[in-house]
Structure 1
Amino acid sequence: MVHIRPAQLRDIAGIGVDRMGEVADTSQRDYLRLENLDVDIPPDPEAVARTRQAASRDADNSYLPFVGQSRLREIAAAHVSALTGLSYDGRQNCVISAGGLSGILNVLLATIDVGDEVIVTDPTYAGLINRIRLAGGVPRFVPFIFHPGDVWTFDREALAAVIGPKTKAMLLMSPSMPSGAMLDSDDWQAVGDLCVRHDLLLIIDSAMERLTFDGRPVQHPVALPGMAERTIFVGSSAKELRMIGWRVGWIVAPEAFLPDIVAVSLANVVVPVGIAQDAVAVALERSAETLPPYVAELQRRRDVMLDELAGLPVGVPAGGWSMLLRVSDFGLDGAAMSDRLLTHGVCATGMRGWGMQHGEHYIRFVFANEPVERLAGLGSRVRMALGL
């Protein structure tokens, strides 16, 4: 039988992280692991204890409720309410998903038609771009502006110019992955104005929204006029709560969207892991207390990375877990630089398919999975790989 790739997979790009992770996992070499979004900082101990307890409870070994356990839905809704200043209800506004990316796909399947355009930033994690395509959508890219040695900035003029008659939604993340770029209040005002003017849906991937550096506040456009009815939040236990293996996320949306999101959720993964849900509820409820030391450690690692790579064309992350180095300045693409770094004991990921303008010109370094002591000396390895 001759296999013909389905049309919806024609433009699906590999994420590269899986290949690099396998290289490091199967090697006997002690690579500096900067290639994927794992984290070496453990989750809240109370959440771990609740997971162990849940593994032996019959009530947690269940498909029910299909939309997620009631306590987690209420806590997730309360969490989004506290950050936005609006009032969301767990029963009316929240569905639990099997991780954040599963939640993104479910929202896209529930809200866009084949051929609809969805605006994303450039660069954007290929997994998000792939999910737009799986849902039948067409990604439209708005490049961040790269400032070597400084933070990335949002191009509001480019955002306005990319909107066309087929544009249905924006899918935005702040801090954005992989650049660490953040939208400020003027950026969100522009987003809100355009969404209302063109009747667009706003999907916010809030997986990293509290991982902000240098005292930057968490900001949302949902309280702007006309935005509450058109904004959907998709959160995750993975990055902020450091519960990657639990595979739990949440969707908080206006009530009008819930029936279709539930329908897609039941037709897709059905339910997230039962024994993980209340542990996530514990961690999320306690996160206002447990998050600040974790964010401070991430910022410390970022600062060490910046010191190591000083003088090279890097974008300064305003938040998140990763930092980008533009290797095209040295006649390389990300894939070639990735191969070179392996010879110097560093595992890092190229970004082909992570955007139209910025993707393959960069190498991505994740600083969530290595302590400061191991990050020291990275600069000399990078410079050797660049031939400097």
Structure 2
Amino acid sequence: MTVSRLRDIPGINVDKMGNAADAIGDPDMLRLENLDTDIAPPPAAVAATLAAVTRDAANSYLPFLGIHELRRAAAARVSADTGVTFDPESQCIVSAGGLSGVLNALLAVLEPGDEVIITDPAYAGLLNRIRLAGGVPRLVPLVVRDGGWRLDLDALAAARGPRTRAILTMSPSMPSGIVHSREEWQAICDLAVAADAWLIHDAAMERILYSDQPMLHPLHFDGMAQRTITVGSVSKEYRMIGWRVGWILGPAGIINDIGLVSLSNVVCQVGIAMPGAAAALTSADDGIQGAVAAWRGRRDLILRELADLPVIRPDGGWSLLIDTVALDLAPTRASELLLERGGIAATPMTGWGEAACAGRYLRFVFANEPEARLTGIRERVRRAWAL
């Protein structure tokens, strides 16, 4: 019998698609189902990790909340990006990846039945962590305007209720790739203040932007320093997925509580991975600018080739969505046909929001396939869907 905390937690489908693609074993298949990337991590991060393997200090539980070098680097990074100064010892801890940090933050702020406002579509893993922590997701739909995504501000305002305890944000968001405008951020921050709610910001992709607009963070807005919890990681921007290292910053009181959750959960982080993460954050050659240019080129190629199909433009991040329902194809069927006839592995967004919103879409991840392999994707889609 399934325990109650798992009854409303479906899978994320990515694992099933990955297993199906692996079982076929076709090297020509486009692997668009999972958030991986083929672009290498910063060389300094790799060198620091290799050196750490040989050091006894890296083979330790201590310090439980993360090595001081990494906490200083993460605090300095977020302080420089936001203009809000963070003390690395009292306002920053290290997590075993960004999603572990999000779960620990949710466990530290939610009582059972508290509501968490989040956009739709949203990563199913975030929705499931809200539920696992005893919270209730309150979904705010994204809408399509001028070929891209925008936040429904009226629906955002209507989502506030007496049990609103937190707002969980991500910009660029996954899977949509929405990058919140200043107006949207202002509305989100105003709601957080009005509801006296925490704002938990997943900053994993905040510099993966495909426009000339500056990066915006909730800490850029008045009144947010005392209620914002920032969760970052090296997985996306620094291309260090396998390291499983993230960080959490916020007011000292709540960071202390999140630290207690962390000690009761994963206990400590990956000792041999943290020096590499610190090196990435402090490297003069982190490779982010070049990686973003490469990812943008891949996005642009897919947008050009599929311009006659209902593809929604992402303004950041690693993935884009296509509205297969508009083509009279359920996303699950569209995914099956792509796998069987088109040589493309792609994940349907079932469970990534409401059926009327996220449930319309199939996701293409473009971060792990170079332009040379993506070229001709329109013919693969035509062959699979008879379009």
Q: TM-score range by the shorter chain?
A: over 0.9
Q: How far is the alpha carbon of 1:135 from its aligned partner? A: 0.1
Instruction: Please give the residue correspondences for 1:1-388 in structure 2 after superposition, counting only pairs within 5 Å.
Output: 4-30=1-27, 31-147=29-145, 150-286=147-283, 289-343=286-340, 344-356=342-354, 357-388=356-387
Structure 1 residue runs without a partner (length 5+): none
Name the SS of the counterpart of 1:181 in structure 2.
coil
Separation (CA, whole Å) in 2 of partners of 1:146 and 1:383: 24
* Contact 2:238–2:286, Cα closer than 8 Å, also in 1: no
What is the distance in 1 between the residues matched to 2:314 and 2:5? 33
The letter for the 2-side match of 1:258 is I
User: Residue type matched to 2:45 in 1?
Assistant: A
SS in 2 for 1:145: strand
Query: Which residue identity is paired with 2:361?
Result: Y
Structure 1 residues 28-37 or 127-136, which shifts more? 28-37
Q: Secondary structure at the match of 1:275?
A: coil
After superposition, give the CA deviation of every residue in 1:120-157 in whole Å (9 maximum; x if it has no partner): 0000000000000000000000011124x721011111
Whether contact under 8 Å (2:42, 2:286) holds in the other structure is no
> Which piece of structure 1 moves more, 118-127 or 45-54?
45-54
Kindly indicate whether the alpha-carbon contact (under 8 Å) linking 1:241 and 1:287 is maintained by their aligned counterparts in 2. Answer: no
Q: Which deviates the most, 246-255 or 26-35?
A: 26-35
Q: Is the 8 A contact 2:113 2:134 kept in 1?
A: yes
Unmatched 5+ stretches in structure 2: none
The whole-number CA distance in structure 2 between the counterparts of 1:228 and 1:132 is 23
C-alpha contact 1:84 1:222 (8 A) present in aligned 2 = yes
**Aligned-partner Cα distance in 2 for 1:92–1:142:** 33
In 2: Cα distance, 1:233 partner to 1:333 partner: 36
Quote how far apart the aligned CAs of 1:225 are. Answer: 2.5
Q: Is the 8 A contact 1:350 1:364 kept in 2?
A: yes
Partners of 2:252 and 2:335 in 1: how far apart? 45
Q: Normalising by structure 2, what TM-score?
A: 0.97
Percentage identity across paired residues of the two chains: 54
1:225, 1:174 → 2: CA distance?
18
Matched residue of 2:359: which SS? coil
Task: Report the CA distance between 1:267 and its aligned residue.
Answer: 0.4
State the alpha-carbon separation in 1 of the partners of residues 348 and 63 from structure 2: 40
Amino acid corresponding to residue 195 of structure 1 in structure 2: A
- 1:60 maps to a residue whose letter is A
Residue 43 of structure 1 aligns to which amino acid in structure 2? P
Q: Is the 8 A contact 1:119 1:171 kept in 2?
A: yes
Q: Which runs of 4+ in 1 moved over 6 A?
A: none
1:37/1:304 CA distance change after superposition, 3 Å:
same
Over 3 Å counting, the alpha-carbon distance change for 1:29 and 1:223 in structure 2 is: closer
Equivalent residue letter for 1:347: A
TM-score, with length taken from structure 1: 0.97
Tell me by how many angstroms 1:288 deviates.
7.1
Paired residues of 1:335 and 1:360 also in contact (CA < 8 A):
no
CA distance in 1, matches of 2:213, 2:308: 24
- The question of whether the paired residues in 2 share the 8 Å contact of 1:332 and 1:361 is answered with no
> Quick one: distance in 1 between partners of 2:283 and 2:13?
34
Compared CA separation, residues 288 and 188, structure 1 to 2 (3 A):
farther
Inter-partner Cα distance in structure 2 for 1:287 and 1:302: 27
Displacement of 1:287 in angstroms is 6.5
- Structure 1 residue 386: deviation in Å? 2.4
222-231 or 344-353: which moved more?
A: 222-231
Work out whether residues 188 and 221 of structure 1, in 8 Å CA contact, stay in contact via their aligned partners in 2.
yes
Q: Deviations over 1:93-126 (max 9, x none)?
A: 1010000100000000001110000010000000
State the aligned residue count.
Answer: 384
| Cα separation, 2, equivalents of 1:217 and 1:24 | 38
What RMSD, in angstroms, separates the aligned Cα atoms of the two structures?
Answer: 1.1
SS at match of 1:62: coil
How far off is 1:28 after superposition? 2.7
